[in-house]
Structure 1
Amino acid sequence: MSVMPLGKARSKIWVLAYFLATAAVLVPAPLIEFRYYTIPFYFLVLHCDNSDDQSWILTGILYIAVNIFSMAMFLFRPFHWDHEPGIQRFIW
């Protein structure tokens, strides 16, 4: 999904405000994690005037791939800390 549909569907001031707000949220974030990008991505998808079926299918495949990756990391990649007993798992 490109940014071009956003520029065609919204005014230039709205697009500028979107990118400034996104930068204001992402730049001071202490970690680089997917959860910080989800809200700006949802706004991007919702405000693009996209009626192309191929883009929606590609977006759905992307969501499925990220979810499969997240579940695989949680289930099959546990780790151990020296100061904590037992198996630790990571999920965001």
Structure 2
Amino acid sequence: MKYLLVPFYVYFSVYSWLSIIRILGKDERKIWVLAYFLASAAVLIPTQLIEFRYYTIPFYLLALHSVGNETIGWLLVGVGYIAINAFTMTMFLYRPFCWNHEPGTERFIL
């Protein structure tokens, strides 16, 4: 039962990478797209944990090198960043927790 969603994961992974390659291939040279793909794979494949911090540099490079002149799209991305940052700061500042085996108040970031 736990392997039932593997085909969907593979499909969406391939679709995502093909979309990224198509977006970057519009204005970037093929060697740059290949270098982006290899560098992202070199960073993401050996990670033992799935954490968002590993995806930030490839995402920023993708956002900077993709062509997009849609003002609404950029505004939605900006609003999304502001909402995620506000949620993260609220969780960090106002949701501390205590462990039985650790003294003091602990905080974590999502």
TM-score (norm 2): 0.70
**Higher relative CO (CA 8 A, sep ≥ 6), structure 1 or 2?**
1
Partner of 2:82: 64
* Offset of residue 10 of structure 1: 1.1
* Offset of residue 35 of structure 1: 1.4
User: Is 2:51 aligned against 1:33?
Assistant: yes
* Offset of residue 11 of structure 1: 2.5
**Is this contact kept in 2: 1:5–1:50, CA < 8 A?**
no
Name which one, 1 or 2, has greater alpha-carbon Rg: 2
Partner of 2:60: 42
Aligned length: 91
Percent identity reads: 63
What is the alpha-carbon distance in structure 2 between the residues aligned to residue 76 and residue 64 of structure 1? 18
Q: How does 1:13-28 map to 2 (within 5 A)?
A: 13-28=31-46
* Offset of residue 71 of structure 1: 1.0
Q: What RMSD over aligned residues (CA atoms) do the two structures have, in Å?
A: 1.9
